[in-house]
């Protein structure tokens, strides 16, 4: 049986991404880079990971093999990278949920800050505040007023505990002064299905899939969680415009290696990723999957990650969240 690119992706198999030459001298030698994505193929993290790997394969140049190692809410693939040799040939591409580690899942075997070397942050995804068509509110201000009168009328879907949408929901409740209940789902697809059938009333999530549902009339969007209107959806008002100033929240994506990467290897990877994110074709493809290009090198990414963890752990503690 001949495998096409589509069948590789749908089967979750490794797909080699070749640099300018299939025999190009990779750094620091000619072995391929194993690009570990700790989630199944097909989601926004996976799509952004593959686009980044493709750009980096050209920028270095190098041969890169994408490996989907799903399981344990992302911990299986992440732990595999932690235990790999720190030579630059095994890298992790993950989303912001990775940074919370044991704060979300007790069985996590690693410390995201102590056991990994941040290489670069490469993108972020603004979140949409979605509502079922049955919700009478059309702005966040109207929703908050209604939820204060009838809090039992509403519930928020959660695609995954510890994901950006979960944390943004906690922040929404805090800023709005409401206590809307939350219903965990196994992924965004199931949550969107129930939102479209009015089985749940609210959902905060990233991704073009949600926008497609909105534009098809199956649900509505009340706001986007960016400081300014996003080019991904310029017709959607910011949270401040919609009635909740200060509600700015993004998911984000980054690359890590095992702790102990040699400085020369780290610098070469970071430089290649910076050139990847600056590439106009990569930027266009990012936009197509709902990711906004952004870049932080190793030092800036380390600081960004520390601030993000501090904020999100405080949100979880204030909500009395207990890791599973």
Please tell me the predicted confidence (pLDDT) of residue 298.
Answer: 98
Q: Are residues 121 and 260 in the same domain?
A: yes
Mean pLDDT over each residue of the chain, to the nearest integer: 90
| Tens-place pLDDT, residues 63-117 | 999 999 999 889 999 999 999 999 999 999 999 999 999 999 999 999 999 999 9
Residue 7, in any domain of the structure:
no
> Are 225 and 247 contacting, i.e. CB atoms less than 8 angstroms apart?
yes
The beta-strand segments (E) located in 143-296 are: 155-158, 181-184, 202-205, 220-224, 250-258, 292-296
Using alpha carbons, select from 154, 147, 159 the residue that is nearest to residue 193: 159
Note whether residue 4 is domain-resident.
Answer: no
Note whether 254 and 121 are same-domain residues.
yes
Q: What is the DSSP string of 302-322?
A: HHHHHHHHHHHHHHHHHTT--
Nearest to 32 by CA among 91, 92, 89: 89
For residues 42 and 99, membership in a common domain is answered with yes
Which residue, of 242, 269, 303, is where some domain finishes? 242
Structural domain span for residue 68: 13-125+250-318
Q: Which residue did the predictor score with more confidence, 4 or 71?
A: 71
- Are both 109 and 157 inside the same structural domain? no
Domain assignment of residue 5, yes or no? no
Beta-strand (E) ranges in 85-137? 90-95, 116-126, 128-131
Judgement on whether residues 266 and 222 belong to the same structural domain of the protein: no
| Global pTM value | 0.88
Query: Does 29 share its domain with 135?
Result: no
Residue-wise pLDDT for 110-134, tens only, equals 999 999 999 999 999 999 999 999 9
CATH of the domain at 74: 3.40.190.150
Counted domains in the chain: 2
Task: For residue 149, count CB atoms less than 10 angstroms from its CB and return exposed for 0-12, middle for 13-18, buried for 19 or more.
Answer: exposed
Query: Residue 209's pLDDT band (boundaries 50, 70, 90)?
Result: confident
Domain co-membership, 80 together with 142 = no
Tell me, yes or no, whether 195 and 261 share the same domain.
no
Q: Final residue of a domain: which of 242, 259, 281? A: 242
Sheet with 202-205, side-by-side order of all strands: 181-184, 155-158, 202-205, 128-131, 220-224
Residue 3 lies in a domain: no
Statement to judge: residues 68 and 85 lie in one domain: yes
218 and 254 belong to one structural domain: no
Cα separation, 67 vs 14, whole angstroms: 5
Q: Specify if 1 maps to a domain.
A: no
In a shared domain, residues 178 and 153: yes
176 vs 21: which has the higher pLDDT: 176
> Does some domain include residue 283?
yes
In a domain, 107, yes or no: yes
Instruction: Decide which of 242, 270, 298 is a domain's last residue.
Output: 242
> In this structure, what CATH number is given to the domain that contains residue 227?
3.40.190.10
Are residues 143 and 205 located together in one domain of the fold?
A: yes
Is 195 part of any domain?
yes
**DSSP-assigned beta bridge partners for residue 92:** 36, 256
């Amino acid at each position: 049986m001949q495998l096409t690119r589509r069948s590789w992706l749908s089967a979750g198999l490794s797909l080699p991404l070749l640099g300018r030459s299939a025999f190009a001298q990779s750094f620091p030698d000619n072995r391929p880079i194993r690009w570990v994505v700790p989630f199944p193929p097909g989601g926004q993290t996976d799509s952004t990971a593959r686009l980044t790997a493709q750009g980096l394969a050209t920028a270095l140049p190098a041969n890169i093999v994408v490996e989907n190692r799903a399981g344990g809410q992302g911990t299986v693939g992440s732990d595999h990278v932690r235990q790999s040799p720190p030579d630059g040939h095994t890298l992790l591409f993950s989303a912001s949920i990775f940074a919370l580690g044991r704060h979300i899942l007790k069985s996590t075997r690693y410390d995201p800050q102590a056991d990994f070397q941040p290489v670069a942050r490469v993108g972020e995804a603004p979140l949409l505040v979605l509502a079922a068509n049955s919700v009478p509110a059309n702005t966040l201000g109207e929703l908050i007023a209604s939820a204060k009168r009838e809090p039992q009328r509403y519930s928020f879907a959660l695609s995954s505990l510890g994901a950006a949408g979960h944390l943004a929901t906690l922040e929404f409740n805090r800023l709005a002064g409401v206590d809307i209940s939350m219903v965990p789902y196994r992924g965004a697809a199931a949550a969107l299905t129930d939102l479209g059938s009015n089985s749940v009333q609210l959902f905060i999530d990233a991704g073009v899939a949600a926008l497609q549902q909105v534009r098809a009339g199956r649900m509505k969007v009340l706001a986007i969680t960016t400081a300014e209107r996003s080019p991904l959806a310029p017709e959607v008002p910011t949270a401040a415009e919609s009635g909740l100033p200060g509600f700015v929240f993004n998911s984000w994506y980054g690359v890590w290696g095992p702790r102990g990467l040699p400085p020369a290897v780290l610098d070469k990877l970071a430089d290649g990723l910076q050139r990847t994110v600056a590439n106009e074709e990569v930027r266009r493809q990012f936009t197509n999957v709902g990711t906004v290009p952004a870049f932080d090198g190793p030092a800036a990414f380390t600081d960004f990650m520390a601030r993000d963890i501090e904020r999100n752990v405080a949100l979880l503690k204030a909500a009395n969240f207990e890791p599973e």
